[in-house]
Structure formats: structure tokens, C-alpha cells
């Protein structure tokens, strides 16, 4: 009987311990399970409980804002811990993690997922038709995923991608990865794969996961190679300071050339107030006699600096500040390494700042500028002003009359010197004060004929002057003269043609407009003793000028009227032959080496613009003494839909032995440049090609090819450039071949480095 009683008690206890849970939900240290009829509840002791569900009705545990689903869960009440296995699904906010097994602490809200993968929502939706922008979701996986905080995970032997689709186009695999949901993903010693193929090794990779497209983090690196610089890596880091300010810090490594660090700061405060400044430090490696090769001659190591930028700032009381800089310390570094053809060939560097304001008819401006023109790597000519202050009063009628009065004045401390290795060889700098009031009387009674007559007085003072032998001395000099000028426009002839039903325009208008400008400048006896630095110093007195011109303009009207073609021809006659050398209206004769003549060149210019997408210009100057063209230039651009852009420019300065200022073969130039860009309708695929050709020396200065491909959530851009170094001292290789490649992932692009890789294109983060 006793044995039967013990057996009955044991059976009752077992039935109580392992009976299915059918009514009440169980509480587990802040978490609870929902009651399910099919849920099996097994109690080993007061601390250890096992919950078992099925594939169709798994165990569900709710912990605050997180839910867990699994086939079975072992619960340890005292420790606040449970171990889930079998089709584990953990849901927290917009993140979902699936795993084979989960060990979770309900007190610390931390745990470890084994053989797991998950997704998270970065933003509500992707921007339509914007390739390379932030995708809405991210996918991650790993052998182990350690939940270290509410939104922080550490992944072991896993990977990450923001291209969530059945077969991701790209992924980054890493042995160690930190994931902060709604913030960033940080991978170390990672491998970038495209379509499963390893492509790049990334020592560190930072991917933003904020909802805002503009996030702080590492951008995609630029890999490249070149004959002179060797292999190269540009690693940019983008700092989104706030919505109005950002900065990019880039480290550049070159296997042959050395290394560089660049900082680029940008801001936009309001319409009319913005700025961009780039500062670069370049450490070039020395080329010793042992390391010199066929590409470079021996040279010492060099640290060089470069500063470029522009800013404009609106200030109170109607003031406006501006600044520009294009400064470098090493001309050789620019020539050897720059991929931007303008930066590589320019011999000029400059600083400019200005402050201006206008109040009614009054305008005040203060400007400082310094410009250096390199003759060679060691010698330069410095020009500029420190400062230049000018004030002007706009023309206003005197009383109720038809006579208008205006005035202007300027004070400037002119910089002009020749320097070699920071030593001043010649200094022509001086101070100038200039005042010029004017009276203007317009005659506009007839619409076909107008006359504007102006009389002005000009008084100028210089702090230094020239002696008879041409020596500059510290003796002041002044100049005063009157300037009388009348501009006669007309008679103007025009004719209107109707063309109803014409495909291009309904009406046409042809305008013929002759002009004659008569100008008389009184005598200036001080002219030989004036230090001639700027155009204001080179006014020739006692001369009468007659400038005659004829303009033809053609207008077309469809919905609105527009000028589609113009042609103008002009020439000036001078009673004093010296005046032709100082007339800035003509490019070919503004030269003290030009032969004295009473007639300027004949300037011909034409412009054509039949549509907003097609335009062209041409200009030439013809010399009347030797009856030949001296300078020619042409430029144009065309755009076809959204898929094709074309632009080209051509210029020539001829060699003319009969003209002193055109007889030097080194001054003769003949250039052609062109660029074309093609892109698909969705901008998924595109390419561009540009070149600069020197006809005078019969070679391409540079050729550049760029192509890109944008997929749904990644892209690639490659660039190939050849650059000709003929005639540049210290570089023995005739041509530098350069290659660059970079990738863009969803939400991450790259910025051009300081050398202008990838054609200076900036892909926004």
C-alpha cells in the first residue's frame, strides 16, 4: 500500500512538472510568454524551465519593445537568462535577426546569436532614380553576433551589405565588425566583393546608417597608378559637422612620389554666403642618383603646400566680403603630379580678398590681391595691390536737366617686383591716388540715332617716378588731363521677315547698327616720367581716337524673341601712333613691343546661339599693315537631350616675322581642346573624353577618358589619362600614364583628391 502511494505521488508530480501550459502566461525577469494551448511547459526546478513550441506555433517571448520567436526556449529565472534554439527570430524596432541559437540575458538586454543574419531599416524609402544614394535596408550576417546594447552589435566572421536583394551586387566581409543601428557599421581588415568576387582589401571600412543621406564616415578610396607617382591610394574621411558645414580629410600615399594630407572645408550659411577652402601638404620623396631612372632626374626631397578656395559672405549694412586663393609653393610639384590640365600648366598663383558695399548711388570697395607669375621654378614677377580702395558715385541728373554727373576715386598701393629664391631683385612698387569726375549729356530724341557725349577730368598722383634715363626714384609726380568723348549709334536699320508655318521661328528681325566713337585726350607732358605698371598709368595724351564699328544682329521669334546670331567689325584710328600700343580693346596690339601705327587691328567677332543647347563664338584680329590675321580663337558647346554634351575651343597666335611683337617663335601658339560626355537616360552608364592638342609642337598635351557604371546600389568609375612632359625640366620621361579607379556604394561615394583624379568629380555622400 505504501509503495502504491509513493508511485501515485511521483506520477502526480511528474504530470505537474511536464504538463502543457494552457492558461496562464509565464513571467521571466521582465519578459513574459503568451499563453498557447500547444506550448509545452517543463519545470526542472524553480530556476530552470523549458518552453517548447512547434514550427507553426513557436514560443514567443516579449521583452519591452523586443520579441523572440523560437521552437524551444530554456529559461533560467534567477539569472534572467534564456537560451533559444530552432528557427530563432529576434525582432527589435525595425531590426530582425534570425539565428540557429540565441543566448540572451533579460536583465542586461545583451546576448549572443550563433550562425545568424539580420536586416535593419536605414530609411523609409530610397530616392527614386538616384543610383548610389542611400538604400532603405541593410543586411548583415556572422558566425556570432553579440548584442552589446540596445542598438549595438559586434559581429565575428561575418559581413555586411546595403544591397538587399536575392543576390547582392556587393558585400564587405570581415573578421570583426561593429554595428550601431541607426548610426554606422565599422569593419576592420575587410574584403570588398562584387558579385562574390574579392576585389579590394580595406584595412578599415565605415558605412553610415543614419536616416540622413549626409553622414560622417570614410568615403570610398581611390586607387591609381602613374609613371611618376607610382601606385597610389587616396583615403578620404568625410565629416558632416552639421547641415551647413562639412569637411573632408584625405590621406594620399604614392609609392614613388611620397605622401600628402589634404583638408577641404565647405559651408553654406544662407543664399549669398558660402565658402570652400582646400589646404594640402605634400611630402615628395627625394630622387637620389641611385634611385634616378628613365622617368625622373635626381632631385632633393621637398615639402610643398597648396591652398585653394573661394568664399562669399553677406555682411550687415549692405556689405559683401569675397576671397579667392589659388596658391602653391612648388611649381615643379604642380607640373609633375597635377591631373587638372589648367593647374598643371598654369604659372600663376594668387590671393584675393575684397569688401564692397553700395548705398543708393554710392559704391565703396576695398581689395587686396597678390599675383605671382613664374618665369621658371626660381624666378617670379609679383604684382597686386595692398590695398586698393575705390569709391564711386553713379550718374545722376543735375537738378531736372538732361546732364548727368558721376565721379570715381581710387587709392592703391601697387605691388610690382621681380624675385628669385625669395630675394627681391627689382622693386617697382609705389602708391597711386586717382580722381575722375564726369559729365554726360545723352541725346536720345530719335530711336534710330543716339548720341552720348561725356567730358571727364582725371587727376592722378604717384609716389614715385622715372628719371630721364629710366631709373625709378622716390620722387612724386602728378598728372591732369581732360577726356572728351562722343559715341554715336546709328542710323540703325532693321527689317522684319514673317515666316508663318516655319518650323524654327514665326518672325525674323535683322538689325544693322553702325557706331562711331570720337575721343580726345588732352596733352600729358609727364607721360615719359610715369612708372607704367597698370592701364591707368599708360594713358597717352594729346591724341584723338576714332573707333568705328558695324554690328549685325539676327533675331528669331517663336514664343519669345532671342538673338541667334551676331557679327561685329571694329577698328580704331589714332592721331598718335604710340596710343595703339596701350589700347586694351585689341588683344594683339596691347604690347609695348608692337610697331607704332596709326591704325589698330581690325577686330572681328561673331556669336551664334540658335537654341539654349547650341552656341558658338569666333574672334580674330587682322593687321592692316601686313594684311594678315594675327590672332584667332573659337569656342562652342552643344547639348543633345540629357545624353550628350560637347564642347570645344581653338586658339592660334601666328608667327609673323614682319611684326616685332609676333616675330618670336616661342610666342607663337596653336591649341585645340575638346570634351564630350555621354550618359544613358537613367545615368546608369556614362563616359567622357577630353583632350588638349598642341599643333605648334604636334602632340597631345593630355588625353583623358572616364567611364562609370551605376547599378541599383553600387557603382564603379575608372579613368585613364596620358600627360605629355616635353620641355619640362627635371622630367626625363616624355609621357606620364595615369590610371584611377573608385567605387560607390549605396550612400557612399568619393571626392576627387587634390591632384584632380576622376576629373574633379564629386559624388555626394
**pLDDT beyond 80 at 277:** yes
Q: In this structure, are residues 624 and 604 in contact, taking their beta carbons and an 8 Å threshold?
A: no
30 pLDDT tier (thresholds 50, 70, 90): low
> In the listed set 138, 154, 174, which residue is the last one of a domain according to the structure?
174
pLDDT given at position 24: 45
pLDDT given at position 133: 43
Mean pLDDT for 447-473 is 92
Is there a domain that residue 651 lies in?
Answer: no
**pLDDT beyond 50 at 9:** no
SS3 196: coil
Mean pLDDT for 233-247 is 90
The residue segments making up the domain with residue 59 are 16-174
> In the listed set 575, 607, 625, which residue is the last one of a domain according to the structure?
575
HEC readout, 44-105: CCCCEEEEECCCCCCEEEEECCEEEEECEEEEECCCCEEEEEEEEEEEECCEEEEEEEEEEE
Mean pLDDT for 284-311 is 83
Mean residue pLDDT of the chain comes to 86
Q: In this structure, are residues 426 and 420 in contact, taking their beta carbons and an 8 Å threshold?
A: no
Is there a domain that residue 606 lies in?
Answer: no
Percent of residues in the chain assigned helix, strand, coil, to nearest 5: 5, 60, 35
> In the listed set 174, 189, 217, which residue is the last one of a domain according to the structure?
174
- Of 164, 155, 236, the closest CA to residue 190 belongs to 155
For residue 47, what is the domain's CATH number?
2.60.450.10
- Percent above pLDDT 90 for the chain: 51
Is there a domain that residue 458 lies in?
Answer: yes
pLDDT tens digit sequence for 465-488: 998 777 899 999 999 999 999 999
Range scoring the smallest mean pLDDT among 117-121, 265-269, 303-307, 507-511: 117-121
pTM equals 0.79
Q: In this structure, are residues 62 and 69 in contact, taking their beta carbons and an 8 Å threshold?
A: no
Is there a domain that residue 190 lies in?
Answer: no
The CA distance from 548 to 589, in Å, is: 17
**pLDDT beyond 60 at 13:** no
Is there a domain that residue 100 lies in?
Answer: yes
Is there a domain that residue 74 lies in?
Answer: yes
DSSP 551: E
ω before 387 within 30° of 0 (cis)? yes
Mean pLDDT for 47-69 is 82
**pLDDT beyond 90 at 453:** yes
pLDDT tens digit sequence for 299-351: 788 899 999 999 999 999 889 999 999 999 998 888 888 888 888 888 899 99
Is there a domain that residue 563 lies in?
Answer: yes
751 pLDDT tier (thresholds 50, 70, 90): low
Is there a domain that residue 757 lies in?
Answer: no
* Domain tally, the chain: 2
Amino acid at each position: 500500500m505504501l509503495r502504491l502511494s509513493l508511485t501515485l505521488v511521483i506520477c502526480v508530480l511528474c504530470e505537474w512538472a511536464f504538463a502543457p501550459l494552457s492558461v496562464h502566461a509565464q513571467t521571466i525577469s521582465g519578459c513574459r510568454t503568451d499563453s498557447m494551448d500547444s506550448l509545452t511547459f517543463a519545470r526542472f526546478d524553480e530556476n530552470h524551465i523549458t518552453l517548447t513550441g512547434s514550427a507553426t506555433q513557436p514560443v514567443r517571448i516579449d521583452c519591452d519593445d523586443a520579441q523572440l520567436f523560437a521552437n524551444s526556449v530554456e529559461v533560467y529565472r534567477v539569472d534572467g537568462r534564456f537560451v533559444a534554439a530552432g528557427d530563432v527570430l529576434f525582432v527589435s524596432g525595425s531590426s530582425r535577426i534570425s539565428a540557429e541559437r540565441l543566448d540572451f540575458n533579460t536583465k542586461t538586454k545583451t546576448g549572443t546569436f550563433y550562425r545568424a543574419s539580420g536586416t535593419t531599416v536605414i530609411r523609409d524609402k530610397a530616392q527614386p532614380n538616384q543610383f548610389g544614394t542611400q538604400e532603405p535596408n541593410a543586411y548583415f550576417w556572422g558566425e556570432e553576433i553579440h548584442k552589446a546594447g540596445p542598438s549595438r552589435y559586434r559581429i565575428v566572421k561575418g559581413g555586411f551589405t546595403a544591397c538587399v536583394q536575392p543576390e547582392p551586387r556587393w558585400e564587405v566581409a570581415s573578421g570583426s565588425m561593429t554595428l550601431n543601428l541607426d548610426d554606422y557599421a565599422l569593419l576592420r581588415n575587410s574584403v570588398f566583393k562584387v558579385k562574390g568576387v574579392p576585389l579590394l582589401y580595406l584595412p578599415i571600412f565605415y558605412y553610415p546608417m543614419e536616416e540622413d543621406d549626409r553622414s560622417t564616415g570614410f568615403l570610398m578610396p581611390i586607387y591609381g597608378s602613374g609613371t611618376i607617382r607610382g601606385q597610389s591610394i587616396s583615403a578620404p574621411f568625410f565629416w558632416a559637422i552639421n547641415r551647413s558645414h562639412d569637411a573632408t580629410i584625405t590621406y594620399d600615399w604614392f609609392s614613388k612620389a611620397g605622401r600628402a594630407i589634404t583638408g577641404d572645408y565647405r559651408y553654406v550659411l544662407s543664399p549669398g554666403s558660402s565658402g570652400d577652402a582646400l589646404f594640402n601638404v605634400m611630402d615628395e620623396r627625394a630622387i637620389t642618383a641611385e634611385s634616378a631612372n628613365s622617368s625622373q632626374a635626381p632631385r632633393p626631397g621637398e615639402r610643398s603646400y597648396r591652398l585653394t578656395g573661394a568664399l562669399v559672405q553677406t555682411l550687415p549694412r549692405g556689405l559683401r566680403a569675397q576671397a579667392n586663393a589659388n596658391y602653391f609653393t612648388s611649381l615643379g610639384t604642380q607640373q609633375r603630379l597635377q591631373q587638372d590640365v589648367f593647374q598643371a600648366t598654369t604659372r600663376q598663383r594668387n590671393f584675393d580678398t575684397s569688401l564692397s558695399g553700395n548705398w543708393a548711388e554710392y559704391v565703396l570697395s576695398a581689395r587686396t590681391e597678390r599675383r605671382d607669375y613664374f618665369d621658371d621654378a626660381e624666378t617670379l614677377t609679383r604684382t597686386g595691390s595692398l590695398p586698393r580702395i575705390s569709391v564711386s558715385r553713379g550718374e545722376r541728373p543735375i537738378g531736372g536737366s538732361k546732364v548727368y554727373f558721376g565721379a570715381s576715386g581710387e587709392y592703391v598701393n601697387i605691388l610690382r617686383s621681380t624675385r628669385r629664391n625669395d630675394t627681391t631683385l627689382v622693386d617697382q612698387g609705389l602708391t597711386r591716388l586717382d580722381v575722375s569726375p564726369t559729365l554726360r549729356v545723352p541725346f536720345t530724341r530719335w530711336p534710330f540715332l543716339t548720341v552720348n557725349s561725356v567730358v571727364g577730368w582725371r587727376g592722378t598722383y604717384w609716389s614715385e617716378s622715372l628719371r630721364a634715363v629710366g631709373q625709378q626714384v622716390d620722387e612724386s609726380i602728378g598728372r591732369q588731363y581732360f577726356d572728351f568723348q562722343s559715341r554715336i549709334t546709328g542710323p540703325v536699320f532693321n527689317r522684319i521677315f514673317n515666316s508663318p508655318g516655319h518650323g524654327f521661328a514665326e518672325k525674323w528681325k535683322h538689325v544693322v547698327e553702325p557706331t562711331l566713337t570720337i575721343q580726345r585726350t588732352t596733352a600729358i607732358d609727364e607721360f615719359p616720367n610715369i612708372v607704367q605698371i597698370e592701364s591707368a598709368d599708360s594713358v597717352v595724351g594729346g591724341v584723338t581716337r576714332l573707333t568705328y564699328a558695324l554690328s549685325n544682329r539676327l533675331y528669331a521669334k517663336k514664343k519669345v524673341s532671342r538673338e541667334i546670331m551676331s557679327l561685329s567689325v571694329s577698328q580704331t584710328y589714332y592721331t598718335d601712333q604710340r596710343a595703339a600700343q596701350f589700347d586694351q580693346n585689341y588683344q594683339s596690339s596691347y604690347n609695348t613691343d608692337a610697331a607704332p601705327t596709326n591704325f589698330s587691328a581690325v577686330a572681328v567677332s561673331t556669336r551664334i546661339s540658335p537654341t539654349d543647347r547650341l552656341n558658338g563664338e569666333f574672334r580674330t584680329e587682322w593687321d592692316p599693315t601686313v594684311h594678315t590675321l594675327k590672332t584667332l580663337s573659337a569656342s562652342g558647346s552643344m547639348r543633345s537631350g540629357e545624353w550628350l554634351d560637347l564642347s570645344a575651343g581653338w586658339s592660334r597666335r601666328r608667327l609673323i616675322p614682319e611684326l616685332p611683337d609676333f616675330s618670336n617663335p616661342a610666342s607663337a601658339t596653336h591649341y585645340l581642346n575638346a570634351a564630350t560626355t555621354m550618359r544613358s537616360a537613367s545615368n546608369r552608364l556614362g563616359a567622357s573624353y577630353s583632350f588638349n592638342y598642341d599643333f605648334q609642337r604636334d602632340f597631345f598635351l593630355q588625353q583623358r577618358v572616364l567611364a562609370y557604371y551605376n547599378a541599383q546600389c553600387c557603382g564603379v568609375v575608372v579613368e585613364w589619362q596620358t600627360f605629355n612632359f616635353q620641355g619640362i625640366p627635371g622630367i626625363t620621361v616624355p609621357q606620364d600614364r595615369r590610371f584611377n579607379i573608385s567605387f560607390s556604394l549605396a550612400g557612399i561615394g568619393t571626392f576627387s583628391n587634390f591632384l584632380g583624379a576622376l576629373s574633379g568629380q564629386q559624388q555626394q555622400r
